[in-house]
Amino acid sequence: MRFYARSHSFTCGIDLHRRTMYLCVLDAEGQIVLHRKLPCRGEAFLAAVEPYRAALVVGCECLFSWYWLADLCQEAGIDFVLGHALGMRLIHGTKTKNDKLDSEKLARLLHSGHFPLAYVYPRATRATRDLLRRRLYFVRRRADLLTHLQIVEAQYNLEPGRGRLDRARHRAGFPERFPTGSARLSIAADCKMLDALDELVVRLERELVRTAKIDDLDSFCRLRTVPGIGEILSMTILYELPDFHRFDTVGEFASYGRLVAPRGESSGKLGAARGRKQGNVHLKWAFSEAAVTLLRDNPPAQRLHDRLVRRFGKAKALSVLAHKLGRAVFYMQKRKLPFDAERFYAEG
């Protein structure tokens, strides 16, 4: 966990909501100079902090509505920091909690140098990253529908069809296999939803690939040199982490990508691990998928996996392989070099 340690003449904590926000501004001595509830309007915020903006830092918790505030501060030349929601224990662990108290606690964390930092994602590629995440949501809903088709097919004890149901041509006439009435209507509704999602996902993927090639063609092509990482995983890594240089060490990157297990220790004794949800779940998914895909029709990767199984066991081997892929990608992106298969598969 990183903390914001720079000092400013004025620090502003904001408890931000959809329609309103509560501001608390502290001076250099920690005295409250402004404590006010405002509507979520840019002009109202700028007018309130105008006397302090020359030496002001603004901090808010990393919730869904921070985009506009970060962009507004950037345009106005005001320092903005984002607070890690899981690190705000001073806010969530107290007996009394309301917007006014929360804004003061945020300001005091920021003033004291104990403000846990989250990443302020660059504005230029933020919408593309969100579209990529939305595409993954649609793909998972599509998988749910396909699973439901197979479940209902088993419920009616029907022989599985010869074709794969994820192909539209194999779903033609599939509802007619079920009795007339509610069962057939349910399956027909699933098939129509699948047809719409098939078309939507293909269109989104085409647009995302075109955008990735415009935004960072070199990184996109470099990531594609890694066996097991195709277009979708390349774009996921590219847009979830556009700047690898913000990590000083590969360990920091692995921790952010949830590629290492958390460790809890006190007085020399290991305890229950915490913080499993800290880090980027999308990077964790991307490298886990890449580890599985890497093993397909790839004898060197299969031999590497066998060595890992003998050393760590079957349950942990894939996680270690995903970690190894993450380390390889980190150094590739930092050094701007393609994938080195000989070094990756080497024993040692």
Domain that holds residue 339: 231-263+274-345
Domain assignment present for 222: no
d(CA 27, CA 35): 12
d(CA 12, CA 104): 9
How much is the average pLDDT of 76-99? 85
Residues 330 and 235 in one domain: yes
Q: What is the mean pLDDT of the chain?
A: 91
- The CATH number covering residue 22 comes to 3.30.420.10
The pLDDT of residue 271 is: 62
* C-beta atoms surrounding 56 within 10 Å: 21
Q: Is 213's pLDDT higher than 70?
A: yes
Domain assignment present for 332: yes
Q: Is 90's pLDDT higher than 80?
A: no
pLDDT of 19-56, one tens digit each?
999 999 999 999 999 999 999 999 999 999 999 998 99
Q: Is 217's pLDDT higher than 90?
A: yes
The one-letter code for the residue type at 207 is: E
Domain assignment present for 105: yes
Number of domains in the chain: 3
The pLDDT of residue 201 is: 97
Domain assignment present for 334: yes
Residues 138 and 96 in one domain: no
The pLDDT of residue 270 is: 67
| pLDDT band of 348, cuts 50, 70, 90 | low
